[in-house]
Amino acid sequence: MTNMTTVIAQGTFDLLHPGHVHYLTDAAERGDELHVIIARRGNVTHKAKPILPDRQRRDMVAALDCVDEAHLGHPEDIFVPIEEIQPDVIMLGYDQHHDADGIREALASRGIDCAVERASAREPKYEGELLSTGRIVDRILEERGE
């Protein structure tokens, strides 16, 4: 019997861009199965609320080849999907605001034994490539705003 390594990545994933694809590809390469938890709009408090609806963001992430399953986060407790999936690794985005040590402590307090790692950085590959939803929104407003 082979041991499969299950990885969780998580985020808002509003307006998918190459930075998201890099993060999820990096996460998928750390294991055999990648589950992605998409933050519900009501739970996003550290930045502007997503533009796109929860389900659309989930469906777009699920369409990526590197993703095995995409889930909407729990409305009240972000750790519920992690308890259900029981991952071996939680992969944080390179520039996500999360405190890895704080997450490790919260996982340990719930009896969840898994590694917490951070994805590698991705630099723009050509002039003008946008690697953040905020920059995409800014460009839209510059180019098409009234």
What is the three-state SS of 8-71?
EEEECCCCCCHHHHHHHHHHHCCCCEEEEEECCHHHCCCCCCCCCCHHHHHHHHHCCCCCCEEE
19 is annotated as contributing to ligand binding: yes
- Residue 27 placed within a domain: yes
Instruction: Provide the percentage of residues in the chain whose pLDDT is more than 70.
Output: 99
Report the pLDDT value the prediction gives residue 78, as an integer from 0 to 100. Answer: 86
CATH of the domain at 127: 3.40.50.620
- Residue 1 placed within a domain: no
Q: Output 94 or 64, whichever has higher pLDDT.
A: 64
68 is annotated as contributing to ligand binding: no
Instruction: Provide the percentage of residues in the chain whose pLDDT is more than 90.
Output: 78
Q: Which residues form the domain of 112?
A: 6-144
46 is annotated as contributing to ligand binding: no
- Residue 72 placed within a domain: yes
- Residue 119 placed within a domain: yes
12 is annotated as contributing to ligand binding: yes
- 50 CB-near residues (< 8 Å, 6+ apart): 12, 14, 39, 41, 44, 57
Report the pLDDT value the prediction gives residue 95, as an integer from 0 to 100. Answer: 84
Q: How confident is the model at residue 2 (pLDDT cuts 50, 70, 90)?
A: low
